Amino acid sequence: MIAQRLFGADRRIAIAIFVLLAAAVIVPVLNLAVSPSSAFYIPSYMVALTGKYLCYALLALALDLVWGYCGILSLGHGAFFALGGYAMGMYLMRQIGSRGVYGNPILPDFMVFLNYKELPWFWYGFDHFWFAALMVLAVPGLLAFIFGWFAFRSRVTGVYLSIITQAMTYALLLAFFRNDMGFGGNNGLTDFKDILGYNVQADATRSALFAASAVTLALAVFVTAAIVRSKYGKLLMAVRDAESRTRFLGWRAENVKLFAFTVSAVMAGIAGALYVPQVGIINPGEFDPANSIEVVIWTAVGGRGTIVGPIIGALLVNAGKSWFTGVLPEFWLFALGGLFVAVTLLLPKGIVGMWDGWRGEGKASRAASLAEEAGADPVEPEPKIVRTAARTPGAWSATGPEPQPAE
Amino acid sequence: MMMLRAIGLMLVLTMASVLPSQAAEADLRAAIAKFAAATGFSATEAVVRELAASGDPAVERPLSALADGNLYVRKADSQVFAGKEAGDTIELLDPLSGDKVADAAKTDLTKIKVNNGLRRTIRDALGTLTLRAKDASVRLAAATTMFKTPDAANIEPLDAAIAAETDPAVKTLFEQARAASILVSDKPEADKLAAVSVIAARGDREALSLLTSVEASSQGAVKDAATAAIRAINSTLALWDAGQNIWYGISLGSVLLLAAIGLAITFGVMGVINMAHGEMVMLGAYTTFVVQQVIRTSFPGLFDWSLVIALPLAFLVAALVGLAIERGIIRFLYGRPLETLLATWGVSLILQQAVRTIFGPTNQEVGNPSWMSGSFDVGQLAITWNRLWILVFALLVFGVLLYVMKRTSWGLQMRAVTANRRMAASMGIKTPWVDALTFALGSGIAGIAGVALSQIDNVSPNLGRGYIIDSFMVVVFGGVGNLWGTLVGAFSLGIVNKFLEPYAGAVLGKIVVLVLIILFIQKRPRGLFALKGRAVEA
């Protein structure tokens, strides 16, 4: 069995999937079936909050696929997240029906307010869940495909690519702020009532959404692991570590990158779609370039180029954010800024990468001491090649790291 | 006490301003009283002319009341009042001040009768009165009103006024008002044709609307002349519009140039994207604020010099912070440009929050020195001094930087490191020092950009955020390692932006520009003026 081989190869991924699936069952049960007075009861706000974090974790995992495994630092993943969110938000808006403030059965409230006479064409079909779900996948995927098609084909790499992805999300931010775009302008889409006929506010629906997020994340972990393990995954890392060399060997680096970028954008879109019903609003603020960069730090904290790393990073940083903004709101930006600096300087491989490093060292020294006891010559342990370690450009240089001029 | 003294002062002042006019007022009242004795239109007209001859603007009220048929004589004592009908009675108002004096029944009053000839005399008198006012601005205002409401009756007083006028600007406007009046009169065609050409020479939107109505209402040669004039005005206006867009674009470009040029240097030499660059701009703006605060409290006389004082300080502050960032963080991250980007983003968050904690999240007020406020006109263009100074300043900074890069040994070292770092190191250039000083220089320039931006933008902790993406676009568009690329990039982005705005709106224009740049990068991934190199990847 392929799955077995996969799980056998890395226990950690199997554990992550198991924990996520278990959470998908246990948390709703503890929320719905246990009485509020019990010590095991999980309050509803907690369910919604962790559900939100799981969506962030999915977004961080999506970014990790392109950044950690393919070396494309996208500063615009928030855009794909928000687009998926808007697709879901449009479905939820249509579900309000005539229960809106203005009671118009077809037009959402903001359209009545802005004097729309009829539904814009791009809102057609969003009253069906299947269509909205399709759009959640298609819109971010298509944007990423078109964007990547142009960008990778003309070999826009490195910081240039980061900057233009940032410009992309910035352009979308400006566009969605416009009232005449037909997406609710500044206020975005909110005031949702039903999803698939169930009340969005109800505890049972929230628990179901939480379970859906956890299961989706587990699935994404599985898919990402499968991609990374496959032959294609090796190619992905080859492109990351030495793009020109891969190209000279006859591979089409741009296609390799394009596939990863598109898959990653679709994952980000799904994360956004799960996020919107849980927080109850989607507005253009989600396109803010600052948000996209924050996603990068989640991935970096957990450890890029690992699969569980981004999940751990997203959960930790967001838990920290919730705690900080509650206790010391002024200091959150100091903490976040410090985190950016500290992680890049001290923890370039993130928490998971560092853990791997320690374990590797530990193993090596144990092996060395065993060998010594056995009376053998102390041989220099072969340096463990950390599968996930990104090649540091400039490592070939005799003088150590040094700046490389932009060309 | 203060209050009382202030009131007393005010009273004295009002008295002082009232006294001299009282003598004149007595004369006017005497003249107005003559209306009671005047019988027949010619006698009334004589009184009107006497009042008009006084040249006092105060006669406007009784004269317009007379023209409207609202001037009455009380039968009992032959006193003259302005009146306002209120049902059966009439409110009697003082003819000069307009204050209510008494009520009277209609039967107790005699209305002073007017005919059309008299009305015209009154209107001419009123027009002449303001056209001859001593204050040039009053005359200008009168001429402007006459231009906007042309009337054949205005021609005569205007002719007289033109003959007497000495101020050339007012005279031109009088002539234009006269031309406008001729066009609505029944003067012969030749006069009208001349009038059309006078108005066409004015060449602005008001002339355009006037001529459009003339074109619609007239026939023959006048109509043709008006059509031709409209076409001419439209094309001049289109030119001025283009000129205005170019000026706005150049102004925006100069701002972008200031913000981006430091970024271009650091990116070019070190391959480092400094996400905290916008915050350096913000630090410069806040330095200006602090300098102005100190000057306001301690040396108010130096306020006009505040920017000159702030410039070196802002450069120093930003350069020192930049140096600290380079020595403390960036130098450990060389060779990892993406990590550098993240670390500097973190620094930018910290700097923003630090400024927010110290100065508060609200906008700080930075004043314009007197030589930077106000504007002047070039044709149909209004050019504000602060925008013009910023353009001059941006070009100055660019020139100095160009000199440093091309003519000094430090610049030579920077260019060598940009071109080939390892070769430069082999030649004995201390590349770490070049890096550190380049970063400090780039940051310092951002700081002085902040001084300039504090004059046209809100000084808030988010100041830098607004410029950073645009600056990146300039650098990416212009190509790195080449100052001319940045110059061309900044001005072309600025002008394209402003040209798109009228058609697409400010926001959509910006989106279009971003999309255009993203497409442009596909074509030339290294920008307009890319350095030629043989390396296969950066």
Residues of A in contact with B274 (CB under 8 A): none
Q: Which of the pair, B199 or A28, is modelled with greater confidence?
A: A28
Nearest residue of A to residue B337 by CA position? Answer: A159
Nearest residue of B to residue A349 by CA position? Answer: B339
Contact A338 B342 (CB under 8 A): no
Helices (H), A105-128: 109-113
Question: Would you say residue B277 has pLDDT above 50?
Answer: yes
Q: B349: part of which helix (H) or strand (E)?
A: helix B337-359
Residues of B in contact with A158 (CB under 8 A): 337-338, 538
Q: Which residues 6+ apart lie within 8 Å of B386 measured at CB?
A: B368, B372, B373, B455, B456
Contact A394 B339 (CB under 8 A): no
Ranges under pLDDT 70 in chain A: 1-9, 371-407
Nearest one of A278, A205, A241 to A68, comparing CA atoms: A241
Q: How far is B69 from chain A (nearest CA, A)?
A: 50
Q: Say what the pLDDT of residue B349 is.
A: 92
Name the pTM for this structure. 0.76
Q: How far apart are CA A370 and CA A362, in angstroms?
A: 12
Contact A406 B481 (CB under 8 A): yes
Nearest one of B278, B250, B274, B273 to B450, comparing CA atoms: B278
Question: Are B454 and B289 in contact, with CB atoms under 8 Å apart?
Answer: yes
Nearest residue of A to residue B351 by CA position? Answer: A334
Contact B469 A333 (CB under 8 A): no
Contact B334 A348 (CB under 8 A): no
pLDDT over 90 for what percent of chain B?
21
SS3 B102: strand
Residues of A in contact with B335 (CB under 8 A): 392-395, 397, 401-404
Q: A147: part of which helix (H) or strand (E)?
A: helix A129-153
Contact A345 B526 (CB under 8 A): no
CA B142 to chain centre: 24
Contact B353 A403 (CB under 8 A): no
Contact B335 A403 (CB under 8 A): yes
Q: Which of A91-105, B193-207, B355-369, B405-419 has the lowest mean pLDDT?
A: B193-207
Question: Tens digits of per-residue pLDDT, B137-152?
Answer: 777 777 777 777 777 7
Q: How far apart are CA B279 and CA B462, in angstroms?
A: 8
Chosen from B347, B514, B534 to mutate, greatest number of chain A CBs within 10 A = B514
Query: What's the burial of B463, exposed, middle or buried (CB within 10 Å: 0-12/13-18/19+)?
Result: buried
Q: Give, as one character, the DSSP assignment of residue B363.
A: P
Contact B339 A348 (CB under 8 A): yes
Q: How far is B297 from chain A (nearest CA, A)?
A: 30
Nearest residue of B to residue A393 by CA position? Answer: B335
Residue B376 sits at φ, ψ, to 5 deg, of -140, 160
ipTM greater than 0.90: no
Q: How far is B525 from chain A (nearest CA, A)?
A: 6
Question: Roughly what angle, to the nearest 10 degrees, separates helices A350-373 and A308-327?
Answer: 120
Question: Are B507 and A178 in contact, with CB atoms under 8 Å apart?
Answer: yes
Residues of B in contact with A340 (CB under 8 A): 342-343, 345-347, 349
Contact A164 B521 (CB under 8 A): yes
Question: Tens digits of per-residue pLDDT, B459-495?
Answer: 999 888 888 888 888 888 887 767 888 999 999 999 9
Q: Give, as one character, the DSSP assignment of residue B367.
A: P
- For A12-31, b/e burial (b = at least 16 CB within 10 A) is bbbebbeebbebbeebbebb
Q: B339: part of which helix (H) or strand (E)?
A: helix B337-359
Range from A11-15, A134-138, B12-16, B189-193 that averages highest in pLDDT: A134-138
Q: Say what the pLDDT of residue B250 is.
A: 92
Q: How far apart are CA B127 and CA B144, in angstroms?
A: 12
Contact A403 B271 (CB under 8 A): yes
- List where CATH 1.10.3470 sits in chain B: 241-537
Nearest one of A271, A348, A364 to A59, comparing CA atoms: A271
Q: Say what the pLDDT of residue B57 is.
A: 66
Q: How far apart are CA B351 and CA B346, in angstroms?
A: 9
Question: Would you say residue B15 has pLDDT above 50?
Answer: no
Residues of B in contact with A406 (CB under 8 A): 267-268, 271, 337, 480-481, 538
Q: Which of A61-65, B85-89, B367-371 has the lowest mean pLDDT?
A: B85-89
Distances (CA, A) of A240 to A103, A253, A288: 54, 10, 27
Residues of B in contact with A405 (CB under 8 A): 268-271, 417-419, 421, 481, 538
Q: Which residues 6+ apart lie within 8 Å of B288 measured at CB?
A: B306, B307, B310, B314, B366, B450, B451, B454, B459
Q: How far is A51 from chain B (nearest CA, A)?
A: 27
Residues of A in contact with B531 (CB under 8 A): 407
Q: How far is A71 from chain B (nearest CA, A)?
A: 9
Mean pLDDT of chain B: 82
Question: Are B182 and B191 in contact, with CB atoms under 8 Å apart?
Answer: yes
Amino acid at A242: A
Q: How far is A372 from chain B (nearest CA, A)?
A: 37
Nearest neighbour of A340 by CB, restricted to B273, B349, B418: B349
What is the assigned CATH class of domain B241-537? mainly alpha
Nearest residue of A to residue B344 by CA position? Answer: A341
Residues of B in contact with A344 (CB under 8 A): 333, 336, 339-340, 342-343, 346
Contact A164 B476 (CB under 8 A): yes
Q: Which of the pair, B116 or B474, is modelled with greater confidence?
A: B474
Nearest neighbour of B329 by CB, restricted to A147, A341, A348: A341
Nearest residue of B to residue A297 by CA position? Answer: B342
What is the number of residues in chain A? 407
Question: Tens digits of per-residue pLDDT, A115-132?
Answer: 888 888 999 989 899 999
Chosen from A340, A391, A392 to mutate, greatest number of chain B CBs within 10 A = A340
Residues of A in contact with B525 (CB under 8 A): 154-156, 160
Distances (CA, A) of B58 to A190, B28, B79: 63, 9, 18
Question: Tens digits of per-residue pLDDT, B208-231?
Answer: 888 888 778 777 788 888 888 888
Q: How far apart are CA B116 and CA A236, in angstroms?
A: 95
Question: Roughly what angle, to the nearest 10 degrees, separates helices A289-302 and A332-346?
Answer: 50
Contact A405 B417 (CB under 8 A): yes
Q: How far is A205 from chain B (nearest CA, A)?
A: 37
CB pairs under 8 A between A and B: 186
Question: Tens digits of per-residue pLDDT, B335-346?
Answer: 788 888 889 999
Q: Say what the pLDDT of residue A276 is.
A: 95
Q: Say what the pLDDT of residue A393 is.
A: 42
Q: How far is A202 from chain B (nearest CA, A)?
A: 38
Range from A255-269, A344-358, B65-79, B268-282 that averages highest in pLDDT: A255-269
Q: Say what the pLDDT of residue B16 is.
A: 46
Question: Are A235 and A211 in contact, with CB atoms under 8 Å apart?
Answer: no
Q: Say what the pLDDT of residue B533 is.
A: 58
